[in-house]
Homo-oligomer: A and B are copies of this chain.
């Protein structure tokens, strides 16, 4: 439980930066070398590498070095972890809305019944 909480801290934290989200978005389309990842950013390579290392340490990205090229890929299971968390919260608040809806419908029905009674008096 504590581990899962740490994992959620890590993943949400990693995604709280636009550059890191852009890297994740790029890797959704498939693997990419660090050079390919760097291309769209006006950023020095060491700064980009820092973001990639954060994504790696938080479990969102895996990388492998072949010769002089480091290739990065997305670990989609990490994104799935926060999707599951969000879906669980959505379920709770939707269940609450359902209960509210039932309650309002009941109130309306009672109100109609009372109005009918008043008319027939």
A interface, over-half SS: helix
Q: Which residues of B contact A21 (CB under 8 A)?
A: 5, 8, 85
Decide: A92 near B29, CB < 8 A? Known: A16-B13, A86-B86. Answer: yes
The number of chain A residues with a CB under 8 A from chain B is 28
Give how many copies assemble into the complex.
2
For residue A64, CB closer than 8 A to chain B, the reply is no
Interface flags, A88-121, vs B, CB<8A=1, else 0: 0110110010000000000000000000000000
Residues of A bordering B, CB below 8 Å: 5, 8-10, 12-13, 15-18, 21, 24-25, 28-30, 74, 76, 79, 82-83, 85-86, 89-90, 92-93, 96
